[in-house]
Amino acid sequence: MNQVHVQQIECLLVLSEELHFGRTAARLGYSPSRASQLLSALERRVGVRLVERTSRRVSLTRFGAQFVEEVRPAYENLSTTFLRARDRAMRGALRELRLGFHGSVYEQVTEAFRLLRAEHEVTVTLSEIPLGSPFSAVLEGRLDAALVELPVHDPALTVGFRFPPQEQLLAVGTAHPLASREGVRVEELAEFDLLRPVGDAPDYWMAARVPPTTPSGRPIRSGTGINTVQEGLALVAAGTHAMLVCRPMAQSISRTDVRCLPISEWEEPSQLGLVRRTADTGPQLTALAGLLAEVYGGDSPCYAGLSPAPGSRDIA
Amino acid sequence: MNQVHVQQIECLLVLSEELHFGRTAARLGYSPSRASQLLSALERRVGVRLVERTSRRVSLTRFGAQFVEEVRPAYENLSTTFLRARDRAMRGALRELRLGFHGSVYEQVTEAFRLLRAEHEVTVTLSEIPLGSPFSAVLEGRLDAALVELPVHDPALTVGFRFPPQEQLLAVGTAHPLASREGVRVEELAEFDLLRPVGDAPDYWMAARVPPTTPSGRPIRSGTGINTVQEGLALVAAGTHAMLVCRPMAQSISRTDVRCLPISEWEEPSQLGLVRRTADTGPQLTALAGLLAEVYGGDSPCYAGLSPAPGSRDIA
DNA sequence: CATATCGTTGAGCCTAGCTCAACGATCGCT
DNA sequence: AGCGATCGTTGAGCTAGGCTCAACGATATG
pLDDT at A301 over 60: no
pLDDT tens digits for A217-256? 888 888 888 988 888 888 888 877 889 988 888 888 878 8
pLDDT at B304 over 70: no
pLDDT tens digits for B218-235? 888 888 889 888 888 888
Check if A85 contacts B (Cβ < 8 Å).
Answer: yes
Contacts of B82 (CB under 8 A, 6+ apart): A4, A9, A71, A74
* CA closest to A94 among chain B residues: B63
Burial of A222 (0-12, 13-18, 19+ CB in 10 A): buried
Confidence of residue A10 (pLDDT cuts 50, 70, 90): very high
Q: What is the pLDDT of residue B300?
A: 44
pLDDT tens digits for A114-163? 999 888 888 888 988 988 899 999 988 889 999 999 899 999 999 999 99
pLDDT tens digits for B104-148? 788 888 999 999 988 888 888 898 898 889 999 998 888 999 999
Q: Cβ A86–B47 below 8 Å, yes or no?
A: yes
pTM over 0.75: no
Confidence of residue A1 (pLDDT cuts 50, 70, 90): low
For residue B303, list its beta bridge partners: none
Task: State the count of interchain CB pairs (< 8 A) between A and B.
Answer: 90
Distance (Å) from the C-alpha of residue A82 to the closest C-alpha of chain B?
Answer: 7
Cα(B39)–Cα(A191) distance, integer angstroms? 65
Does residue B172 or residue B301 have the better pLDDT? Answer: B172
Q: What is the pLDDT of residue A7?
A: 92
Q: Give the rounded distance of the alpha carbon of B170 from its chain centre.
A: 30
Contacts of A116 (CB under 8 A, 6+ apart): A97, A122, A124, A284, A287, A288, A291
Q: Cβ B75–A78 below 8 Å, yes or no?
A: yes
- Residue with CA nearest C6 C1'? B55
Give the SS3 label for residue A307: coil
B260: closest CA among B231, B237, B227?
B237
Give how far Cα B168 sits from Cα of A81, A305, B50, B78, B147, Å: 61, 83, 74, 52, 17
Give the SS3 label for residue A192: coil
Q: What is the pLDDT of residue B183?
A: 84
Q: What is the pLDDT of residue B154?
A: 92
Cα(B172)–Cα(B241) distance, integer angstroms? 7
CA quadruple A132, A138, A143, A146: dihedral sign:
positive
Q: What is the pLDDT of residue A67?
A: 93
Cα(A14)–Cα(A74) distance, integer angstroms? 15
Task: Give a three-class secondary structure readout of chain B.
Answer: CCCCCHHHHHHHHHHHHHCCHHHHHHHHCCCHHHHHHHHHHHHHHHCCCCEEECCCCEEECHHHHHHHHHHHHHHHHHHHHHHHHHHHHHCCCCCEEEEEECCCCCHHHHHHHHHHHHHHCCEEEEEECCCCCCCHHHHCCCCCEEEEECCCCCCCEEEEEECCCECEEEEEECCCCCCCCCCEEHHHHHHCEECEECCCCCHHHHHHHCCCECCCCCECECCCEECCHHHHHHHHHHCCCEEEEEHHHHHHCCCCCEEEEEEECCCCCECEEEEEECCCCCHHHHHHHHHHHHHCCCCCCCCCCCCCCCCCHHHC
Q: What is the pLDDT of residue B192?
A: 83
b/e for A229-246, b at 16 or more Cβ within 10 A?
bebbbbbbbeeebbbbbb
pLDDT tens digits for A273-292? 999 999 888 788 888 999 99
pLDDT at A95 over 90: no
Cα(B166)–Cα(B304) distance, integer angstroms? 10
Nearest Cβ partner for B78 among A66, A74, A89: A74
Q: Which of A122-131, B51-60, B67-76, B223-232 has the highest mean pLDDT?
A: B67-76
Give the SS3 label for residue A157: strand
Amino acid at A68: V
Q: Cβ B77–A77 below 8 Å, yes or no?
A: yes
Q: Cβ A77–B78 below 8 Å, yes or no?
A: yes
Report which of residues 22-81 in chain B place their beta carbon less than 7 angstroms from any atom of strand D: 25, 29-31, 33-34, 37-38, 41, 54-57
- Residue with CA nearest C16 C1'? A1
Q: What is the pLDDT of residue B316?
A: 34
Does residue B126 or residue B92 have the better pLDDT? Answer: B126
Q: Give the rounded distance of the alpha carbon of A234 from its chain centre.
A: 28
Q: Which nucleotide is nearest to B37 (CA to C1')?
A: C8
Give how far Cα B295 sits from Cα of B42, B73, B112, B164, Å: 54, 38, 7, 12
- Widest CA span of chain B, in angstroms? 99
Check if B220 contacts A (Cβ < 8 Å).
Answer: no
Percentage with pLDDT > 90 across chain A: 34
Calculate the angstrom distance between C1' of D29 and CA of B129.
80
pLDDT tens digits for B234-253? 888 887 788 999 888 888 88
pLDDT tens digits for A261-272? 888 878 778 899
Nearest Cβ partner for B63 among A7, A79, A89: A89
Question: What are residue B287's phi and psi, to 5 degrees?
Answer: -60, -45
**Does the C-beta of B123 come within 7 A of strand D?**
no
Q: What is the pLDDT of residue A298?
A: 55
Question: What are residue A16's phi and psi, to 5 degrees?
Answer: -65, -20
Q: What is the pLDDT of residue B153?
A: 94
CB-CB neighbours of B120 under 10 Å:
18
Contacts of B195 (CB under 8 A, 6+ apart): B210, B222, B224, B225, B226, B232, B235, B236, B241, B242, B243
Check if B1 contacts A (Cβ < 8 Å).
Answer: no
Q: Which nucleotide is nearest to B58 (CA to C1')?
A: C7
Burial of B261 (0-12, 13-18, 19+ CB in 10 A): buried
Q: What is the pLDDT of residue B2?
A: 66
Which H or E element spans position A50? none
Cα(B64)–Cα(B72) distance, integer angstroms? 12
Torsion of CA B76, B82, B83, B87, to 10 degrees: 160
Task: Give a three-class secondary structure readout of A235-270.
Answer: HHHHCCCEEEEEHHHHHHCCCCCEEEEEEECCCCCE
Does residue B286 or residue A282 have the better pLDDT? Answer: B286
Q: What integer is the mean pLDDT of B7-29?
A: 92
